[in-house]
Structure 1
Amino acid sequence: MPHSSVSFLVDKITLLLQEEVNLQRGVRDDVQYIKGELERHQAILMVADSSEDKDPELKVWVKNVRDIAHEMEDAIDEYDLGLVDHEQGNDICYFEEICFHLKTLKARHNIASDIKRIKSKVQVISERHPNISKESSSSSQRLSSRLDCQGDALLLEEADLVGIEQPKKEFCDLLFKDGTNRVVISIYGMGGLGKTTLAKQVYDDPNVKKYFKIHAWVNLSQSSKIEELLKDLVQQLHILIGKPVPKAIGMMKSDELKQLIKNLLLRSRYLIVLDDVWNVTLWNAVKLALPNNNLGSRVILTTRKINIASSYSGAELSREFHLKFLPTQDAWSLFCRKTFQGEPCPSHLEEECRKILKLCGGLPLAIVAISGVLAIKERSNIEEWNMVCKSFGSQIESNEDTRRVVSLSFNELPYYLKSCLLYLSIFPEFHAIEHMRLIRLWIAEGFVNGEGGRTPEEVADSYLKELLNKSLLQVVEKTSDGRMKTCRMHGLLREIVNIKSRDQNFATIAREQEQDIEWTEQVRRLSIINSCKTVLKQNKTIFKLRSLLMFALSDSLSHFSIHELCSSTGVNLLKVLDLQDAPLEAFPAEIVDLYLLKYLSLKNTKVKSIPCSIKKLQNLETLDLKHTYVTELPAEIVELKRLRHLLVYRYEIESYARFHAKHGFKVAAPIGNMQSLQKLCYIEVDQGSGALMAELGKLTQLRRLGIQKLRKEDGVALCSSIEKMINLRSLSISAIEEDEVLDIHDITKPPPYLQRLYLSGCLEKFPQWIKSCKNLVRVFLKWSRLKEDPLVFLQGLPNLRHLELLQVYVGETLHFNAKGFPRLKVLGLDDLQGLKCMIIDEGAMQGLKKLIIQQCGSLKHVPVGIEYLTKLKTIDFFDMPDELLTALRPNIGREFWRVQNVPTVYTTYWRDGGWDVYSLETFGERATDSDDHSNAMRLRTLELPILWKV
């Protein structure tokens, strides 16, 4: 992490040196010296990232480097702040230039003093930098990794393998199928789940040993060398077959060792386990030694990284086995077995024990570790158990085996990912973190820059995928087309990350329930959870805030003041202000004085208007006003030339099928001036729309565009502008009224990367350009009222995963042709009142998992061919005719056979202001009184079956 801070600072210094601003004499040389020294220290810091915990002297040195980096960052930001009111234009005369230098004299004097002081500190740490070798670091990593493998398996064996029976059965089934092909099977998941234990249980199973008479187990580490691995394998195989190990093995090169192993395995059915694979290169090196001999041989790999698990391509077959967290009941059984030596949990302790277990998150290693702490506690003292719950992080930290396993995952991260992962400590426990929110925050913090022709957003997204691939993040929710929507850290990893965050003064977390917060000397990132009171009470901390985030506040913020909260001078350098969900009713006027602000979120607040002075925030990149009451933006908004994400809209979820359920914003200004925009949602174009359409064509960097209230006469101009948006990924267009025609046919060159398309309004004919958008994964059409079958144009889209049709077609028959919709996962049909017949050919929609049909009053027969949808998991019928539902009644319905292999079939009715949901098995037992439902589930919710959210 220190390396990340320094790397970020070096970039800032480079920009400072490139500016055409006359620093005072000698300052530029001092800045260049500081930059050179910090660059020289980066090599040490990269190694120190994983070694400082073991070396107190190194840890102190790293802290000093980090403090200097922060001081230098402050100096540069204070300097930038001093120039804000005196910025020059492009064309200035000699007199204006003199005036500028006079006005900025104070700022230049201050930075000169700061730089001189910082230079002297840099000289000291340069003289005292520690000697650290990469060899020693890799040696400690190798030992730690090997201990990780052994400790992981050992702890779980001591736990009597609770919950392993079912995974073992599933894995053995996987092991014995696929016939004579050689198959590579990967077990992946985060550290502590029991990957090694599962593999060992399968490996030692008598039936497995009998089937694979030639078998070997090889332990790996991050620093394993291919020659060592191959020699180990040669020795094991010779011992197994009863032959002496060749004396020349010590002198053999890797190619000779591979050929020797290949000869030994060529005529045998073998099982080779490679435990704890950390990189693909290792597998690529060893796989040539393992012949595909068509005898049913198997290779098992265990890894923490999904990208390794899914990277095996070529002639061999590959299978992935994702080892997941323990289910609640198994976790409880393991907890009780280890804590109470197999006895039931005492009733008076159950509540506290359940809380502690929740923090373990189903991770066996964490459960075993915390159980060891609890097993020696006095059972009659509830307060003592409560203290364990409150101090969960420190309890885990003190457990060497657990801390080593989890810390290894953090320590082996590249430096650029460590800051990103540490940042997640800012969010509350169990908080589901929005994918794009996290990406925008990372960028605003300076953790991510564009590189290799990619935007910062694309780079940040790749960072997020890396963390997921390394099993350091869990996906909480996905979109219907497979994108990650929200994520979180596992509870145990979170505790380790929190500890590192505190040690490195990365972020300060202020919770209402924690009265004894350890305030650091300087607070640079502050997360306030539940209440501001804990912040207001303290007065010793120096605030040097770069980020302020608030979560689940219960305070009234009617007189909210950031300056009062964190002192008048502590927020001037703020770059991130996230007030999402805060009880705000008015835009805090002081925000517009935060000149360096890059990220501002007022999402889910009651703010109604934005002041004209918003134009002062010239560094702003994200303005998130989603689900506020803002309906109009001041014309001055277009002066924010660096704004990349402008998000202003709200939904009325309870009226999902109402045409005007979504509200955007108006702006009376040339929006084409905002050429950095990547996301613009949702702009209402019914006023001055002719000129506005042309303005939109200037926004060629747009990735997502949302248009509301489009008039027919403006369709052609909009099409012309869309053709210029070559980077567009998501497009949403809604007509001004339900029966207004969307004239969007004149697109001859649609955006080549378009993935998501949402159209609301009448279509006189189907837009032909849509069928050429081969990257489309989501298509939502509403109120199209087409006379021609839309499936004809959509079913050839090769990547379409989610299709929703609401009042789209007035015809009587929908025909899904064979081989149509090859990758469709979700299909929703809503309010197709003329639909009488639905035909699904064999081979159509072969990957469909969810089918929703609602309010199609004329569809009285079960879709013909629905039985061909063999991967279908769920069918939802909402407000459908009784004739159709009667035909589906189990055992007695004449067409029940068509859906009998579908795991879940629901029938739902809207009554008394809520949805009544019945499983297929209880159809025919519908009660008039909801309290009478013995086997049916009653569901009342605003999250309706089909959501037209973009």
Structure 2
Amino acid sequence: MEENDVIFLQEKLSRLIHEEVEPLKGGGVQGELENLKHELECMRAFLRVADAIEDKDKQMVQLVNQVRDIAYDAEDVLHEQAQIRGNKFFSFLGKIPLLNPLWSKVIKRNYHLASEIKAINPKLSSIIEQYQKFKNVNSKDQSSSSCYDLRGDALLVEEAELVGIDKTKNQLIQCLVEGETRFKAVSVVGTAGLGKTTLVKKVYDDFVTKQHFNSFAWIHVSERFKIEEVLKDIIHQIFTTVNEAAPQGLDMMNRAHLKAIIKEFLGRRKYLIVLDDIWSIDFWNAIRNSIPKENCSRVVLTTRNPEVASTISIGSEGGHVFHLDPLSETESMTLFCKKTFQGNSCPLHLEKIVKRILIKCGGLPLAIVAISGVFATKDTSKIEEWEKIVRNLGSEIEGSGILQSMAKILLMGYGDLPHHLKSCFLYLSIFPADYPVECMRLARLWIAEGLVMEMEGNTLEDVAEKYINVLLNRSLIQVAERTSDGRVHSCRIHEFVREAIVSKSKEQNFTTIAGEYATVWPERVRRLSIHNTIKKVKQDKNLHQLRSLFMFGVQDSLNKASIPLLFGNNSRLLRVLDLTGTQLEVIPEEFFMLSFLRYLSLRDTKVKFLPSAIEKLQDLETLDLKRTGIAELPEEISKLKKLRHILVYRFEKESYMPYHNLEGFMAPKGIGQLLSLQKLCFVDTNQGGDILQELGKLEQLRRLGITKLKKEDGKVLCSSIEKLTSLRSLNIHSAEEDEIIEMQHMISPPQFLQRLYLHGKLEKLPDWIAGLHSLVKILLRWSQLIDDLVEPLGKLPNLMELQLRRAYNGTSLNFVKGSFLRLKILLLDELEELKEIKLENESVTCLEEFTISRCPMLEKVPEGIEHLRELKLLQLFNMPEDLTKTINRTNNGEDYDKVAHIPQVYATNWKNSHWERSVLSRGNMSNRNDEKGKSVVID
């Protein structure tokens, strides 16, 4: 229970106190609610202080947990009252005289409610008294010093034994001592545990470096830095390196005076200053004016935040950014064996276990060194002991000082997170190890749990997007998959980070995980995440305070025996129910008793029918029925005014890209009443123009998917889309592959549209597409256009991905000079008449991936492909053998030289009911850095 949860409770209390009618006046309820509201104010102050010191004081941990429990109890009482108020019985009472005998029942119920609140208030008051003991603790002074001590010990221990670092070290030294005669800022960026500090320390201490510069300083930067202290530290170090005493009276000098001393001293020398672990650009802005830039001196900084690295280094003329990557599988094994087996190779009988260990380490040298220290003391003949440690890594982290230090370093960005973001981060403990979490799914879950704070001018989804970016920039989560335009589609957390937050989550009773192995259950279960089997759910546990229920990889049947156990009256307070991929065929009646449910996912289940009882879930915000058998929504769905996301679609056929592979759903009349909808996919518009007109009322829509569109309905659809000014993604499928998508009627399309997918025949490319300056991706499928596509699309300033699938019937595609200047991904599929592709110099200059598929008339590699220096991947699917021969390295193909610079060139063909891939070329891998630090965009 974090501070924003307390605020959530206070808001509920305010509504109860100020908006209740006569039923609340009996039984003394109102006075007790006022008292409880006052206590919740005290809780907010308590949590702010406790948050900074709870990791350092076990008594404080206990107090915080007690406060969380009491806050949950208060919420239960409020929910119960809300449930009573929502009952039709009270609506009836409001219409009868106060003296009616029925009122005695109301007063009796209120006395009971008042007694429950009375039981809560004394408990809370007692804890607040204990809190006074900690009132004077200065959280800022204690917040981060121990982490940085640990960081210095763990990252720099036996640095010479690390592997995979020498090449980068030499490159970094060369960057510092050679080349430009002017100032240069060099950034080393990467996630925690990659060895940024270790690398820079080796460079800093190297003989070549010491000979080149004559003044040095190494500054450890904390996130809560004090600029005056940093400036004094620099002064002491730079004077010490030349054996001079620092000026007297530094403690009495102001910031400007300190900066002047540094600038005057360094202005006469070649200096090297290391700023280790910068968290934000604020630090650089605070110190930059004290660093002279007239000579060939250097500043090296390490950071987890790619945006900080780019801003500082690219912002300085001649700057450079080094991205550190995780160790390869071979390097990881070398390091582990060096530390665990004293340099000997891994015993054959332990190879499988060691590989599993290294997967958990994720290529992080820090993690490998830490965990190898644990296994180095274990008997190599006792396989079961090794297996037990791997299986119970969480408890090993709790019990091992080495692993605890490592986990704290990986979690350094956690301690200074705001209260609400800590809860959001701990929420990731719900998911299994190495589980890629879709960012949109995570945002919806956070919102349903009330973890996302409102921010003026932003939707809750916008705010959740900001949260994810903060966690990414602090390296607390990692990118699992990006879209073509750099958006983060999914994320994951490092295995050791996950184990650490699972432990913290258990300590705070934030989440209970029921997995394959024995779990110690808390007295009260708030969030339950079931992994693999429901057999581990304890039947004697009371789940009446359960807020969220997840299932991952559960193949057990959800039947009459298991459903009451999980979803009976015990779970009436459930907000989130995610049964993705479970063996569920019929939605149980118990689901519709969950009146507080906000998030319901039955994705990938076998459910085929949605009952009209769905109208009982008045708080529902997300309904995810993706890849189920449901093809129609009941009319009652239009009564769920809080719905923000409706996902109902599936892919019917498994063969390669048939036209009718997507099935949407029949939308009910009245769907236009769902004014909070942001995502609606995919609506079957075979019902006619009435549904299309309704869509125009959904002005908050950001993503819209349409199926089975007929030509005669195009005008109505265009009229509706023009009203959807918030639309970011539009996906339209025609009723048949030869059915024309009539989209020329659009005059003012949504100007912020970023992704456009048109599946069906086009008489011509709609004129309005050329004016979509925010468009980053476009897919045209079965368009069968004859007119030139390059000229109108090539001028789109932000287009990064273009897919043409049976979209063009011409014989030639000519990418003229100056076109598609930001395009990164180009796919050409089933262009059956295409005979040549010309890529003029200074066109598609940023192209990284180029796929050509099923173009039978194309027998030559695209002309001008040799100019595409950023191209990393060329893929040919089911292309003529004559073409593949011309670029095959082994056959000395005549056009091989044109593709020799491309790191990966593949030819893939469908043979004998499976794909066969041939490697045609592996060009020299250029030292390109993957783009880092791009924002996640929720769509």
Tell me if both proteins adopt one fold, taking TM over 0.5 as the criterion: yes
1:460-515: per-residue Cα shift (whole Å, max 9, x none)?
1111111111000011112222221221111111111111111111111001x21x
8 Å Cα contact 2:638/2:668 also seen in 1: no
8 Å Cα contact 1:141/1:222 also seen in 2: no
Within the candidate set 421, 445, 450, 1:417 is matched to 421
Work out the CA distance in 2 between the residues paired with 1:360 and 1:216: 32
Report the counterpart of residue 401 of structure 1 in structure 2. Answer: 405
1:358-386: per-residue Cα shift (whole Å, max 9, x none)?
32332222222222222222333323222
8 Å Cα contact 1:370/1:396 also seen in 2: no
Alpha carbons of 1:547 and 1:32: their partners in 2 closer, same or farther (altered >3 Å)?
same
Work out the CA distance in 1 between the residues paired with 2:600 and 2:886: 55
Q: CA deviation at 1:135?
A: 6.1
Alpha carbons of 1:105 and 1:200: their partners in 2 closer, same or farther (altered >3 Å)?
same
Within the candidate set 487, 492, 513, 2:491 is matched to 487
Q: CA deviation at 1:178?
A: 6.4
1:911-948: per-residue Cα shift (whole Å, max 9, x none)?
2222221111499xxxxxxxxxxxxxxxxxxxxxxxxx
Q: State the secondary structure of the residue aligned to 2:145.
A: helix
Q: CA deviation at 1:540?
A: 4.3
Within 5 Å, which residues of 2 pair with 1:252-291? 252-291=253-292
The letter of the residue matching 2:810 is G
Within the candidate set 475, 480, 483, 1:476 is matched to 480
Q: CA deviation at 1:108?
A: 4.3
Work out the CA distance in 2 between the residues paired with 1:480 and 1:560: 46
8 Å Cα contact 2:580/2:604 also seen in 1: yes
Work out the CA distance in 1 between the residues paired with 2:300 and 2:794: 39
1:632 aligns to 2:636 (yes or no): no
Work out the CA distance in 1 between the residues paired with 2:171 and 2:648: 48
Report the counterpart of residue 669 of structure 2 in structure 1. Answer: 669
Work out the CA distance in 1 between the residues paired with 2:19 and 2:171: 62
8 Å Cα contact 1:528/1:551 also seen in 2: yes
Work out the CA distance in 2 between the residues paired with 1:481 and 1:922: 26
Alpha carbons of 1:837 and 1:106: their partners in 2 closer, same or farther (altered >3 Å)?
farther
Within 5 Å, which residues of 2 pair with 1:118-517? 118-132=120-134, 136-155=138-157, 157=159, 160-175=161-176, 179-293=180-294, 295-312=295-312, 314=315, 316=317, 318-397=319-398, 398-399=400-401, 400-511=404-515, 513-514=516-517, 516-517=518-519
8 Å Cα contact 2:543/2:566 also seen in 1: no
Alpha carbons of 1:156 and 1:767: their partners in 2 closer, same or farther (altered >3 Å)?
farther
Gaps of 5+ in 1: 924-949
Q: CA deviation at 1:248?
A: 3.8
Report the counterpart of residue 71 of structure 2 in structure 1. Answer: 69
Alpha carbons of 1:853 and 1:178: their partners in 2 closer, same or farther (altered >3 Å)?
farther
8 Å Cα contact 2:808/2:831 also seen in 1: yes
Work out the CA distance in 1 between the residues paired with 2:233 and 2:406: 28
Alpha carbons of 1:404 and 1:156: their partners in 2 closer, same or farther (altered >3 Å)?
farther
8 Å Cα contact 2:177/2:212 also seen in 1: no
Q: Which one is further off, 888-897 or 223-232?
A: 888-897
Q: Which one is further off, 81-90 or 617-626?
A: 81-90
Gaps of 5+ in 2: 924-938
8 Å Cα contact 1:144/1:404 also seen in 2: no
The letter of the residue matching 2:879 is M
Report the counterpart of residue 885 of structure 2 in structure 1. Answer: 886
Q: CA deviation at 1:156?
A: 5.0
Alpha carbons of 1:9 and 1:839: their partners in 2 closer, same or farther (altered >3 Å)?
same
Q: CA deviation at 1:580?
A: 0.1
1:82 aligns to 2:84 (yes or no): yes
Work out the CA distance in 2 between the residues paired with 1:578 and 1:476: 21
Q: CA deviation at 1:900?
A: 1.5
Alpha carbons of 1:586 and 1:728: their partners in 2 closer, same or farther (altered >3 Å)?
same
1:560-614: per-residue Cα shift (whole Å, max 9, x none)?
6432236x33211111110000011222222111111110001011111111111
Q: State the secondary structure of the residue aligned to 1:574.
A: coil
Report the counterpart of residue 651 of structure 2 in structure 1. Answer: 651
8 Å Cα contact 1:709/1:737 also seen in 2: yes
Report the counterpart of residue 699 of structure 1 in structure 2. Answer: 698
Report the counterpart of residue 33 of structure 1 in structure 2. Answer: 35
8 Å Cα contact 2:722/2:746 also seen in 1: yes
8 Å Cα contact 2:278/2:301 also seen in 1: yes
8 Å Cα contact 1:819/1:843 also seen in 2: yes
Q: Which one is further off, 838-847 or 262-271?
A: 262-271
Q: State the secondary structure of the residue aligned to 1:441.
A: helix
The letter of the residue matching 2:258 is L
Work out the CA distance in 2 between the residues paired with 1:17 and 1:185: 59
Work out the CA distance in 2 between the residues paired with 1:422 and 1:360: 20
8 Å Cα contact 1:86/1:103 also seen in 2: no
Alpha carbons of 1:644 and 1:223: their partners in 2 closer, same or farther (altered >3 Å)?
closer
The letter of the residue matching 1:372 is G
Within 5 Å, which residues of 2 pair with 1:89-128? 108-128=110-130
Q: Aligned Cα RMSD in Å?
A: 2.6
8 Å Cα contact 2:263/2:291 also seen in 1: yes
8 Å Cα contact 1:156/1:197 also seen in 2: no
Alpha carbons of 1:148 and 1:864: their partners in 2 closer, same or farther (altered >3 Å)?
same
Work out the CA distance in 1 between the residues paired with 2:137 and 2:859: 74
The letter of the residue matching 2:827 is G
Q: Which one is further off, 168-177 or 913-922?
A: 168-177
8 Å Cα contact 2:39/2:121 also seen in 1: no
Alpha carbons of 1:98 and 1:667: their partners in 2 closer, same or farther (altered >3 Å)?
farther
Q: Which one is further off, 15-24 or 373-382?
A: 15-24
1:735 aligns to 2:734 (yes or no): yes
Q: State the secondary structure of the residue aligned to 2:608.
A: coil
Q: State the secondary structure of the residue aligned to 1:838.
A: strand
Q: State the secondary structure of the residue aligned to 2:413.
A: helix
Q: CA deviation at 1:344?
A: 2.5
1:726-780: per-residue Cα shift (whole Å, max 9, x none)?
1101001111111111111122211121111000111111111111111111100
8 Å Cα contact 1:149/1:276 also seen in 2: no
Q: CA deviation at 1:76?
A: 1.1
1:214-243: per-residue Cα shift (whole Å, max 9, x none)?
332122223332122112212222232344
Q: State the secondary structure of the residue aligned to 1:131.
A: helix
Work out the CA distance in 2 between the residues paired with 1:765 and 1:726: 24
Report the counterpart of residue 46 of structure 2 in structure 1. Answer: 44
8 Å Cα contact 1:88/1:100 also seen in 2: no
The letter of the residue matching 1:631 is A
8 Å Cα contact 2:410/2:476 also seen in 1: no
Q: State the secondary structure of the residue aligned to 1:766.
A: coil
1:152-199: per-residue Cα shift (whole Å, max 9, x none)?
333352x71222223324434544576234332222333332221111
8 Å Cα contact 1:146/1:220 also seen in 2: no
Alpha carbons of 1:87 and 1:694: their partners in 2 closer, same or farther (altered >3 Å)?
farther
Work out the CA distance in 2 between the residues paired with 1:769 and 1:18: 52
Report the counterpart of residue 523 of structure 2 in structure 1. Answer: 521
Work out the CA distance in 1 between the residues paired with 2:717 and 2:97: 46
Alpha carbons of 1:142 and 1:916: their partners in 2 closer, same or farther (altered >3 Å)?
closer
The letter of the residue matching 1:426 is I
Report the counterpart of residue 577 of structure 1 in structure 2. Answer: 577
Alpha carbons of 1:733 and 1:107: their partners in 2 closer, same or farther (altered >3 Å)?
farther
1:824 aligns to 2:823 (yes or no): yes
8 Å Cα contact 2:854/2:878 also seen in 1: yes
The letter of the residue matching 1:914 is H
8 Å Cα contact 2:871/2:902 also seen in 1: yes
Q: State the secondary structure of the residue aligned to 1:125.
A: helix
Work out the CA distance in 2 between the residues paired with 1:166 and 1:106: 78
Q: State the secondary structure of the residue aligned to 1:257.
A: helix
Q: State the secondary structure of the residue aligned to 2:157.
A: helix
| Sequence identity (%) | 45
